[in-house]
C-alpha cells in the first residue's frame, strides 16, 4: 500500500484504548512522532484519565471507542491498546475499513512481530501482533541464540511489579502464557516454548526481570558466537528501549528431557523510559516503545520511503 500516506509527509494514526498503555503510547508518539501524526485518542470511559490528559494536550478525543476510529477516514494506522477480547472484535472491522492495526494485546489476529527480528516480513499485512511484554523482551534473545545454533527448548519467566499490572494485564494472563510460548517458537526459533508470568507485590516495586532458559539441539555449542549474537541483538533493542539490559550469559551442562545438554541461562531486566509510566513498569514501556518502532516503519512504507528492517 505504498503511496497512501497522509499530510505533510506524515501518516495520521489513532490510539484505541486510553488506559496506562494507551496513555504512555500517546506521550511517546508526541515525543517522537517521526512520520506519524497522532490525530485521535479513543476510549469508552468518560472519566478516563488518559482521555483527560489527551484533551489537555490539544488532541482530539472520543468516548465512542472504535466507532470514532472507523468514522475518521484519514486515519491509516490504529494502535489497539484495549484487551485481547476487544481486539478480536476490532480486527475485522478495522481491516474492512482499510486501516492497519498494530495490536498491543495478546489477541494474535495477525502475524507476530518483534521489531529487530522480523518486522520487514509483514509490511503488507493489515494487522500485526506485538505478542506480549514478555515476548518483546525475551524473543529477541532466543532468536539471537537460534541464529547461531538450533534451539530445542526455550522457557522464559517474566517477573513484573504488581503495580504495573492493570486490569487488562490481569485479564489476559492465559493469553500471555499461550501467545508468548508460541512466539518463542514461531519467531524465536525454538522447537518448543514455555512462558510464565509472575506478579511481584514487593514495595518499592521491582523492575521487570526476565529469566530465559535455552536448550540447544547440539551437544556442543560455540559460546563465543552466541555471546556475539546476543550482544548484537541487545544493541538493536536498545535503539528503541534504552533500559534493556542483559547480564553476561551463563553456560552450563544439565540433564534435560533430551538428555545431558548444554544450556544457556540469560538474565534480563527492562527499565522504562518514564515518558508517562514509572520507570519500574518496563513491561509496559517495552510494549509501547515497540509499537512506536513498528508504527514508524509502517508509516514509512505507506509513504513509499525505503528503510532496511529485519
The H-assigned helical ranges of the chain are: 20-31, 49-56, 66-70, 84-96, 115-118, 133-146, 167-171, 173-186, 223-238, 282-302
Q: Which residues contact 55 (CB under 8 A, 6 or more apart)?
A: 61
Distance of CA 245 to the CA centre of its chain: 16
Please give the pLDDT value at position 230.
98
37-59 burial, b for 16+ CB within 10 Å, e for fewer? bbbbbbbbeeebebbebbeeeeb
Q: Which of 29, 133, 195, 234 is catalytic?
A: 133
Rounded-to-integer distance, Cα 19 and Cα 2, Å: 32
- Provide the residue ranges of all domains of the chain, joining segments of one domain with +: 7-131+287-302, 133-280
Please give the pLDDT value at position 171.
80
User: Architecture of domain 7-131+287-302 in CATH?
Assistant: 3-Layer(aba) Sandwich (3.40)
- Looking at residue 280, the DSSP 8-state letter turns out to be T
Distance of CA 285 to the CA centre of its chain: 9
Please give the pLDDT value at position 243.
98
Known binding residues for NAD(+): 18-21, 164-172, 283
Contact 195, 180 (CB under 8 A): yes
* pLDDT tens-digit profile, the chain (310 residues): 444 555 578 999 999 999 999 999 999 999 998 999 999 999 999 999 999 999 999 999 999 999 999 999 999 999 999 998 999 999 999 999 999 999 999 888 999 999 999 988 899 999 999 999 999 999 999 999 999 999 999 999 999 999 998 777 788 788 889 999 999 999 999 999 999 999 999 999 999 999 999 999 999 999 999 999 999 999 999 999 999 999 999 999 999 999 999 999 999 999 999 999 999 999 999 999 999 999 999 999 999 987 655 5
Task: Please report, for residues 52, 89, 103, 170, the alpha-carbon distance to residue 164 in angstroms, rounded to integers and kept in the order given.
Answer: 21, 26, 19, 10
Please give the pLDDT value at position 193.
98
Please give the pLDDT value at position 2.
42
Hey, what CATH class is 133-280 in? Answer: alpha beta
- Is 133 catalytic? The answer is yes
Please give the pLDDT value at position 128.
97
Rounded-to-integer distance, Cα 304 and Cα 21, Å: 29
Rounded-to-integer distance, Cα 276 and Cα 274, Å: 5
Amino acid at each position: 500500500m505504498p503511496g497512501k500516506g497522509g499530510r505533510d509527509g506524515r501518516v495520521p494514526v489513532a490510539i484505541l484504548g486510553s488506559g496506562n498503555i494507551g496513555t504512555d503510547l500517546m506521550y511517546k508518539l508526541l515525543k517522537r512522532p517521526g512520520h506519524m501524526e497522532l490525530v485521535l485518542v479513543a476510549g469508552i470511559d468518560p472519566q478516563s484519565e488518559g482521555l483527560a490528559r489527551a484533551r489537555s494536550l490539544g488532541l482530539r478525543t472520543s468516548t465512542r471507542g472504535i466507532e470514532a476510529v472507523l468514522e475518521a477516514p484519514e486515519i491509516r494506522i490504529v494502535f489497539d491498546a484495549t484487551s485481547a477480547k476487544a481486539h478480536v472484535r476490532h480486527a475485522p472491522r478495522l481491516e474492512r475499513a482499510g486501516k492497519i492495526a498494530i495490536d498491543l494485546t495478546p489477541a494474535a489476529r495477525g502475524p507476530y512481530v518483534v521489531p529487530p527480528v522480523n518486522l520487514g516480513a509483514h509490511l503488507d499485512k493489515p494487522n500485526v501482533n506485538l505478542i506480549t511484554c514478555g515476548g518483546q523482551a525475551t524473543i529477541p534473545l532466543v532468536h539471537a541464540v537460534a541464529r547461531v545454533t538450533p534451539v530445542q527448548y526455550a522457557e522464559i519467566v517474566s517477573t513484573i511489579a504488581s503495580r504495573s499490572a492493570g486490569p487488562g494485564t490481569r485479564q489476559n494472563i492465559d493469553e500471555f502464557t499461550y501467545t508468548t510460548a508460541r512466539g518463542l517458537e514461531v519467531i524465536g526459533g525454538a522447537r518448543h516454548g514455555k512462558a510464565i508470568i509472575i506478579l511481584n507485590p514487593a514495595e518499592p516495586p521491582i523492575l521487570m526481570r526476565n529469566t530465559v532458559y535455552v536448550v540447544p539441539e547440539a551437544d556442543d555449542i560455540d559460546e563465543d558466537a552466541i555471546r556475539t549474537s546476543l550482544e548484537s541483538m541487545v544493541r538493536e533493542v536498545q535503539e528503541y528501549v534504552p533500559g534493556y539490559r542483559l547480564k553476561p550469559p551463563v553456560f552450563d551442562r544439565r540433564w534435560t528431557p533430551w538428555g545431558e545438554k548444554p544450556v544457556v541461562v540469560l538474565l534480563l531486566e527492562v527499565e522504562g523510559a518514564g515518558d508517562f509510566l514509572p520507570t519500574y513498569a518496563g513491561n509496559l514501556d517495552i510494549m509501547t516503545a515497540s509499537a512506536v518502532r513498528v508504527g514508524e516503519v509502517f508509516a514509512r512504507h505507506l509513504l513509499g520511503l525505503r528503510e532496511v528492517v529485519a
